[in-house]
Structure formats: C-alpha cells, structure tokens
Structure 1
C-alpha cells in the first residue's frame, strides 16, 4: 500500500471508529511500521487539517464535533476505485460508437493522471477494456447533447422527429423527463405537449433540436413507470395482459438468469424447462425476443399472442419454400 492509499485508509478508519484506535491496530490495517503510522497521522493532522485527537497510549480518533464536517481535500480514491472508474469511462465512451468520446476525454485524462500519481508514472493499458457495440445506431452527437441538457436543466425541448415505422416527420415540443439507455441505444421519455401524453422517442431519430427557455413540466416518477415501464419493451405503455412463455431445458439455463422485466415471474419446470411470465402491451418486441429462441421457446398464453407467433413463423418459413 503506497502513502496515498494509506492516508485514505487511515482517514476512513478514524472516521468510522466510535472509539480511539490503537497504533497497533493501525499498523496491522495499514501494513506499515509504527514510525510510518505516526508520520501519516502527523501529515493527516498538520497538512490536511484532520481533527485528530488522542495519543499513542489511548489511541487516536476524530473529534466527534468535527468528524462529520471534515473531508479530504480534492478527489481521494483508491487504485481499485480509480481502475473501476476508468473501466466505466471506457465502457461509456466506446459503447456509443465514439459518440461520447469527446465529452468524456477530459475525464479519462484526469483519471489517468491520478493513476499515474499512484504508480510513479506507470502507463495503464486501457485497451485491455474491450467493448464491442452490437446493433447500435448512428446518432447526432449535437442532438444527444441538447437532449441531455434539457433533461438535466429541466427545460422544454423542441425537435423534429422522424418515426421509424412510418418515416413521418413531425415537429415536437416536449418536457423531457429522463433519458434511457436500452439495448445499446438511447431513448428520451418526455411529456409531449402537442399530444398531451407521455411518449418515448428514439434519440437517433431526433433532429434540429433546441433547448427552450420554458421550464419543463415534471411528471411523478410513479406515473412515468406506470405508463412507460409497466409493460415489456421500450415503447410499452400500461400492461394489457400477461404472456406466459415456456422454454425447454436447453434454453432454461440462459433464461432463468435473464432480466426481461421488473415484474417478471419465473419458475423451474419438472422436465428441466423454465416458465416465464411478463406483462405486455404492444406485442411486437416481446414476439421478436421469444422468436429469437426459435424451437427452444413456446408461447403458452394468451391465445392471441400465440397465434401471432405462429403467423410470423409461417411467414418466415414461406421465404424458404422455393
């Protein structure tokens, strides 16, 4: 443990201890000599102005009246915490196809500088963190920035939106509620003032965005979840029913560990299979995910959803008849 991490560990130990901590215990926790413990205590007290009280006989602690108000100056993180932060930064910058790289570049530089201070200039192989984007969509970085700014600043947002299903282009004015990352893509949950309803917008279909001066209308979190997260999929709406899907033993080893919905219900079957129940409103996305498992999955109910799956499979099979 280097001095930086010893000071951080010493601070945490003294702050979390209700009673004086002996020098022997500090030696054991910090993995250093008695003289080093005293030097670190002196640095923490004299240079960083920590409210240390006590002596070598009874032990050391923070003054109870000052402990809650004292914080180490600057950013004090352990090497493990910095490595985790650097890995998270790499994940964010690479998962969006580089969209966030420019915005996050200063953060990466600051993290790497802190790591260098920990390790005497050793270079960290950030290329060891590998992120492979899968079916992510191209996105206008400026539009993404405007959307994020409107969400965080609680301002209304105006933009042109081209629906993927119809290719229809409309102008929307919305009160942004939250931005959601789902299956490699970004979505905006918002109150649409023209439709007077909650809507989700795929950010890659947003163009000509501008943040307005008008304050955004805030919708209660419970109402957002009821309308936008109550059913299966990103464009879910309030649930209209429950779907029961049965997976054979081969697929069960995967599905039993998968998160399909916050309210999902699952149970193991006697033959080694797995039964999953999820609430749904629009069946399109649920059908695609079930059909992804091919012959390893079967929709049991409702009958209408089962019939839709059968029709889709028949259409797919017709592509191979000749």
Structure 2
C-alpha cells in the first residue's frame, strides 16, 4: 500500500471519529472507509493497525466496550499537556487557510497568523505534527502572485487606528497614470481582493451618498496621516453589504444589471466559476444562455467578457456594450497591423 494512501486512510479515520459522538466499532470504521474512499475491500487488521499508528503518533483515541461492542472515539486531547488543541480537520484547514492568506505578508495580520501557527506547532506532539506535515504535502494551494506589504506596515497601523477612532485620513494617493494627489478620506474598513488590500472609505469632498464610498488600493498610498479631525460614520453604510454589490472591487451602492448572451461552452464556464452570488443564468436554447449580473463599472465585466471571446456578447445596457465594443475595435485595429508596427509613419 502506497504511503500516501495510508495517510489518506488514517486522515479519514480521524474525520469519522470526529463526527461520531459515541464512537465507532472497528466494523463500522471499516465499512465507512470502504464507502467513502471507494475501496473494493479493506481488512479489519488494516484498520486496527491504522488506529494503533494514530495513537502512537499522539492522537487521543480511546476504546470502550459498550453493548454494541468495542468502540473507538476521540478523547480530550489536552491531557494537561497541550495548551492548544486541534482536530484532524481543523489542522489541515488552518494549514490551507494560512497559504491562502500569504497576500497579507508584511502586515500585522500576517504576524498574527504566523504567531498563532507557531504556537500550534510548538504545542503539538512531534508525532502529530509530522503526520500532518506528510499528509499536507498532498494538498497544494494555487492562486495569484503573492506580494508583501512590508513597506506599508506603518501606514496600515495608522489606517487601522483611524478606522477604530473614526478619524479623517490625509493621504497622498497615486492612481494609475495620474500624478500623486492629496486627499481626505473617511475610512470604514479594509478589504482583501485578489492578493491586494483596499481601504473602504468615503471621499470627504463628495456629498452624493451614492458616490462617496470608494475603494483605495493600499499599493498606491505614498503617505497616510490620521488627523485630529473626526467624522461621524453614516449609519446607512454597511461595508459587508456594500462590498457584495459588485463583481470585483469597484464600489457602488446602486449596481447596474448587465445582460450577456453566452454560448453553451461559455455558460458552462460561468456556471463552474460564478461571477457574482446574485447572478442569474437562464437557458434560452441548447446553445444560447442569458447571464444577468450586477456591476458597478464597465471594467468589472469587460475582462470577463473578453476572456470568453466570441462565445459572449453584451446585450445591455448600451453603455456597457459600447465600452466592450470600443475595446474590441481597438484590438482588431492593432491586430490588423504587422506585429510591432506603429500608427505613425517613421516611428
């Protein structure tokens, strides 16, 4: 039996015991393993050896004779030794979650994650930790490129203080392709989106309640100062609800529904990887589907539509359709020329 198969089987045993309040007999464990792992057969001796190996590794597995026979169950894993305890599923989940949070490297949040993770590692018996290290190598977390916010650590502390104390922030902010400007913002919270941190804040000079809330990318901050000026938070602002209104990170309390005609292949992609929790995908025919999704800015939907190629067409509204058409026109013009050619003669 391959080592990886043994680890998977032992991990499954721990999951089964976690779910069994009154324990499981050897036969019950064996039958559940066969069913859950899709095995053709499994000998009782193999299950008993797995249980003995787990106990030798430091897991608190106890046995007890009941009316229905001898049962195995997880006991209290502290035994006065562990200050921190974790079940099999919890330890694996924490490990995967830590990998997913790598974009927070350089922030006080990451330091907290690492501190907690190190405490777990220090308190777990070597056998338990080694067991999960071996099993963890079979699970790989993929995602976008990671970054570090080491340079913004001081600014982030200032921002967090301003959020907690409702203080106005003076920031030097550089939007892409624009010069640095000094702005006054009223911070409400932080958001993590595709490996980047954003400050959810109201632009102090904007009075329209539907236009005030903006998302300011921390990468573009050059300076942040918490002023001795305070703002009164708008009781109507619910940051969680506000962030759910859009496909991506663009802000907007009144998103616009966009309708997109999809082919069968594109519809399958969107069904597998939804763009928004409130999207609606309706079948018109075997080869035609209509997707309706809320968006706060054309740049939210544009790259997603273009990624689907000719299998996606924006039906409306006209503003979004025109924005997509304009990009397609520029792309067509660029690709009609030889590679590297310029619009201006002599360049």
Q: Deviations over 1:28-61 (max 9, x none)?
A: 5965035999xx99x99xx88xxxxxxxxxxxxx
- Per the alignment, residue 253 of structure 2 pairs with 238
| Residue in structure 2 matching 1:167, options 175, 178, 184 | 178
Sort the Cα spacing of 1:164 and 1:81 in 2 relative to 1 into closer, same or farther, 3 A.
Answer: same
Return the alpha-carbon distance in structure 1 between the equivalents of residues 83 and 91 of structure 2. Answer: 14
| Residue in structure 2 matching 1:282, options 297, 303, 311 | 297
Q: Deviations over 1:89-145 (max 9, x none)?
A: 12212x456766555332221222244366276572566654455366664341563
- Runs of 5+ consecutive residues of structure 1 not aligned to the other structure: 14-24, 49-72
Return the alpha-carbon distance in structure 2 between the equivalents of residues 290 and 208 of structure 1. Answer: 36
Return the alpha-carbon distance in structure 1 between the equivalents of residues 127 and 155 of structure 2. Answer: 35
Q: Deviations over 1:248-305 (max 9, x none)?
A: 1111111123332343222123224432112334222222221121112111122332
- Per the alignment, residue 327 of structure 2 pairs with 312
RMSD: 4.1
Is 1:92 the equivalent of 2:101?
Answer: yes
- Per the alignment, residue 32 of structure 1 pairs with 63
Matches within 5 A, 1:153-302: 153-156=164-167, 158-195=169-206, 197-211=212-226, 217-220=232-235, 223-224=238-239, 229-239=244-254, 241-302=256-317
Return the alpha-carbon distance in structure 2 between the equivalents of residues 214 and 317 of structure 1. Answer: 52
- Partner SS, residue 101 of structure 2: helix
- Partner SS, residue 285 of structure 2: coil
| Residue in structure 2 matching 1:82, options 69, 73, 91 | 91
| Residue in structure 2 matching 1:134, options 135, 144, 151 | 144
Sort the Cα spacing of 1:316 and 1:171 in 2 relative to 1 into closer, same or farther, 3 A.
Answer: same
Q: Deviations over 1:183-242 (max 9, x none)?
A: 222211113334453221111111222445666643346554676543443223233632
Is 1:111 the equivalent of 2:114?
Answer: no
For normalisation by structure 2, the TM-score amounts to 0.63
Sort the Cα spacing of 1:96 and 1:74 in 2 relative to 1 into closer, same or farther, 3 A.
Answer: closer
**Is the 2:96–2:141 Cα contact (8 Å) retained in structure 1?**
no
What is the deviation of 1:319? 0.9
Return the alpha-carbon distance in structure 2 between the equivalents of residues 117 and 308 of structure 1. Answer: 58
- Runs of 5+ consecutive residues of structure 2 not aligned to the other structure: 1-9, 30-60, 338-347
Return the alpha-carbon distance in structure 2 between the equivalents of residues 213 and 149 of structure 1. Answer: 15
**Is the 2:191–2:200 Cα contact (8 Å) retained in structure 1?**
yes
Q: How many residues align?
A: 277
**Is the 2:173–2:183 Cα contact (8 Å) retained in structure 1?**
no
Larger deviation, residues 127-136 vs 183-192: 127-136
For normalisation by structure 1, the TM-score amounts to 0.68
Return the alpha-carbon distance in structure 1 between the equivalents of residues 308 and 301 of structure 2. Answer: 12
Return the alpha-carbon distance in structure 2 between the equivalents of residues 102 and 240 of structure 1. Answer: 36
- Partner SS, residue 256 of structure 1: helix
